[in-house]
Amino acid sequence: MHAGVLDIVRTGDWLTYERARRIAVALICAYGIAVGYLVLTANGPVDALGRPLGTDFSNVYAAGTYVLEGNPQAPFDPALQYSREQTIFGPDTPFYGWHYPPFFLFVAAGLALLPYGLALAVWQIATFLLYLVSIRSILTAAPIGTNGDNRVLLTLTLLLATAFPAVFVNLSHGHNGFLSAALMGAALVTLDRRPVVAGILFGLLIYKPQFGLLVPLVLAATGRWRTFAAAAATALLLILLATFAFGPRVWEAFAASAQFTRTVVLEAGDPGWHKIQSAFSWARMWGGSIAVAYLLQAAVTLAVGATLIWLWRSAASFALKASALCLSAMLASPYGYDYDMMILAPAIAFLASDGLTQGWRSWEKTLLAAFWLMPIAARGIALATFIPVGVIAIIAVYVAILRRGAIELAKPTHLPAAAAR
């Protein structure tokens, strides 16, 4: 009996379409109830626990009000930012810092033109729809089976994309994970067909620069210079627009704010180590010094960078390469939260696409299913046990991708690397 259960888990036969559909529908209903409860028990823009609805979105909205008043440097001053949040949401509201580059102030200002609740809804719905379009495009780029099979698969894909636990984490924080996932997924889907468009999308991802650390490395290592140039030009244009609109001194304010983010949020772990999903935070949570944490993070980043270049320069399937690049966004950065795990959604979609077209190997379906569920539990398990399951899971899946790639390359029929591109 035990061997039979183990065999089902190993093969992943337990994960049928119908079971996946039921799990997705159940989770979506649970998210709807939870979000509905938060809204119905709120007092204006403040929930029953005294936090702004959408918690972290409050810093975006507060920053936007400063921009509309002609004071774009204020959000980068923690004291001024907190004062504005208290003015909008009450004196007992927690502090939510502004940690974005100056060009994201354009988005903040646009949203601040609306009432808070409407701004939060517009932001989440608009970026969520972009995310769904991106995920759908990943699956449609690699048709599987008959047209009927594809329709069933796409319906299930949209259900699973909506039910992905990081979706609820992102919704409850009012965060920008949907946008990050949409940009990364769309950039990878268009990379070979429309390299300039892909470069623009990669360039827009600079609003969270820590997640694009290895993108230029991959583009350069694979000779995708049109995409590289488009990404660089997009980033430069954003910098110039922000400088023109807000003045050069806004960059001084940003530099000072970045130091606050590094020392207080990252190195001191003021929000809590269990919230930050990185090797750096893992070391700090287990009592490591700042120097040790940086050394561990550097080792992980270098290892990921080296293996990523190997994979992208090989003849492995594009889906594996794309999935690995998405995972590297979290692994290579010392700074990323559980709501940032939305960027893992396109990685899961690419892996699912590869598994459905190339076939699954032992344990892969079960590992991917566990990985899909992980974001909802990562913070709680780390808080209760000091075990950083989020980071461990990302590393495990990244290693599984490398293993899958190595097995694929060992086949005598694989194409030369140049032809694969």
Q: How do residues 264-289 score in pLDDT, each as one tens digit?
A: 999 999 989 999 999 999 999 999 99
**pLDDT tens digits, one per residue of 155-193:** 888 899 999 999 999 999 999 999 999 999 999 999 999
Identity of the highest mean pLDDT range in 128-142, 286-300, 347-361:
286-300
Q: Given a cut of 70, is residue 150 above it in pLDDT?
A: no
Looking at residue 142, its pLDDT comes to 67
Inter-residue long-range contacts of 377-384, CB under 8 Å, 24+ positions, other chains counted: 377/165, 378/277, 378/338, 378/341, 379/169, 379/274, 379/275, 379/338, 380/274, 382/273, 382/274, 382/285, 383/272, 383/274
Confidence band of 2 (pLDDT split at 50, 70, 90): low
Looking at residue 14, its pLDDT comes to 87
Average pLDDT of the segment spanning 339-354: 95
pLDDT above 70 coverage of the chain, percent: 95
Average pLDDT of the segment spanning 113-142: 94
Q: Given a cut of 50, is residue 399 above it in pLDDT?
A: yes
Looking at residue 44, its pLDDT comes to 92
Q: Write the DSSP assignment of 106-146 as a string of letters.
A: HHHHHHHTS-HHHHHHHHHHHHHHHHHHHHHHHHHTS--SS
